[in-house]
Amino acid sequence: MKNIILLGATGSIGDSVLSVIEQNNQKLKLFGIALNSNITKIASILDNHDPSYIYIESEASCKDFKDSNIDKTSSQILHNKNELEALINHDDVDIIVSAISGFAGLETTLMAAKSGKVILLANKESVVVAGDILLPLAQDHNTTIIPIDSEHNAIFQCLGSKKKTADVSKVVITASGGPFLNKSLSELSFVSREEALNHPNWSMGSKITIDSATLVNKCLELIEAKYLFNLDENFFKLVVHPQSIVHSIVTYVDGSSICQMSNPDMRVPIAHALSIDSNRLPITFTEIDFSNLNLTFQNFPQDRIGIENIAREICNQGGLLGTVFNAANEVAVQNFLDNKITFNKIYDVIYRTFDAINVSNDLSIDSVYEIDKQTRMEAKKVLKFIT
């Protein structure tokens, strides 16, 4: 039995993780969960999994939950960060799922990196903003990182157990194209929030759905892949694949190309990652209909090449540039979701902010948090200028 800590239990990734655990409850046990404030969702988690520990970030939500559920659960309720860190390092914990969205997930991912356990990583932003810190930290503590983003898990599977990147010639990372496939940037000036959130293939949280619509998500994934697989950025090619069936392709120096395929369902990479040291875990899934399969691939759109160039610059330069890119994007996306800017202005905020921020060579956790703060302030200045 593997005991699992789920960080970000109430998000869309959390839902998929819980589904895989529930379908394999003879092998997997939800030992603890962490969330911010969505306490209404805890009831169903308790009914199906009964975790021993529940960490609630929001002080008000923690108090509300204790007041309403103190006689209804045997779970130990945590709120203090030291208690969360102790839970992550608990001797009975085998796997930590890092699924907190955005920059907010960095702190707990860094905690997990020092645990010496297995991390199932969905929080790509942790690698984007602090890859030069996070990956060496995990290595120093013998912590294993297994990606559960569909694209990175696909690369992981295509590389095989030996993961010999010296034999790799090219890696293709696919993008669905989102809800605005084949639309030029000039056509997207006044698309609505609802249109941008209407992803044709995936059901995800609002932030990542907008990132998919802008294609920024694929640029974040490029940076993450560079760090996770220790390959230079020129090994990676971003390709639009509207069907979201082929998640990544690895081409080897002998001309062989291996791809990982599945219908779009986050439970597939999660089930694979949870079974990494044993037989694959069975889950319910929709089979690919190979008799009626139509797969198409397109180049990354030229009018979005600017954000890809930023991602490649970050891959080559490293340091704090990823923190700047991520912070500028998070501010821009939130303002779009709040109906304060139009969709195309997301790019303006990213470009202008990225150009305006000068980063130092001081690479530390403190400097990551400081440059994140500075970038968000600068992005807000840019917003005032362009609106």
Q: Is the pLDDT of residue 376 over 90?
A: yes
Query: Token pair for residue 285?
Result: 């899934």
Query: Token pair for residue 128?
Result: 């984007």
Q: Is the pLDDT of residue 387 over 90?
A: no
Q: What are the CA-CA distances from residue 327 to residues 152, 322, 344, 380 (Å)? A: 22, 8, 17, 11
Q: Which residue has the higher pLDDT, 328 or 80?
A: 328
Give the domain 2-147 fold: Rossmann fold (3.40.50)
Average pLDDT over residues 99-106: 93
Q: Is the pLDDT of residue 79 over 70?
A: yes
Q: Matching CATH topology for 2-147 and 319-387?
A: no
Q: Which residue has the higher pLDDT, 246 or 166?
A: 246
Q: Is the pLDDT of residue 218 over 70?
A: yes
Which tens digit of pLDDT belongs to each residue from 228-245?
999 999 999 999 999 999
Which tens digit of pLDDT belongs to each residue from 128-147?
999 999 999 999 999 999 99
Confidence of residue 338 (pLDDT cuts 50, 70, 90): very high
| pTM for this entry | 0.95
Average pLDDT over residues 356-381: 94
Confidence of residue 163 (pLDDT cuts 50, 70, 90): low
Q: What is the pLDDT of residue 16?
A: 96
Whole-number Å distance between alpha carbons of 109 and 143: 11
The mean pLDDT of the chain is: 93
Average pLDDT over residues 208-212: 93
Q: Is the pLDDT of residue 70 over 60?
A: no
Q: What is the pLDDT of residue 201?
A: 84
Q: Are 76 and 55 in contact (CB under 8 A)?
A: no
Stretch among 99-103, 203-207, 214-218, 311-315 having the lowest mean pLDDT: 203-207
Closest CA to 137 of 152, 124, 119: 119
One-letter amino acid for residue 135 of the chain: L
Which tens digit of pLDDT belongs to each residue from 170-202?
999 999 998 999 899 989 888 999 999 998 887
Which tens digit of pLDDT belongs to each residue from 84-96?
999 999 999 999 9
Which tens digit of pLDDT belongs to each residue from 292-334?
999 999 999 999 999 999 999 999 999 999 999 999 999 999 9
Report the number of secondary-structure helices (H) and strands (E) in the chain: 15, 12
Which tens digit of pLDDT belongs to each residue from 241-276?
999 999 999 999 999 999 999 999 999 999 999 998
| Annotated domain spans of the chain | 2-147, 149-303, 319-387
Q: Is the pLDDT of residue 162 over 70?
A: no
Which tens digit of pLDDT belongs to each residue from 14-49?
999 999 999 999 999 999 999 998 888 888 898 889
Q: What is the pLDDT of residue 62?
A: 87
State the SS3 of 277-325: CCCCCCCCCCCCCHHHCCCCCEECCHHHHHHHHHHHHHHHHCCCHHHHH
Give the neighbor-by-neighbor strand order of the sheet with 168-175. Answer: 257-261, 246-252, 168-175, 236-240, 298-299
Q: What is the pLDDT of residue 205?
A: 85
- Architecture of 319-387 per CATH? Orthogonal Bundle (1.10)
Stretch (H or E) spanning 186:
none
Confidence of residue 72 (pLDDT cuts 50, 70, 90): low
Q: Is the pLDDT of residue 164 over 80?
A: no
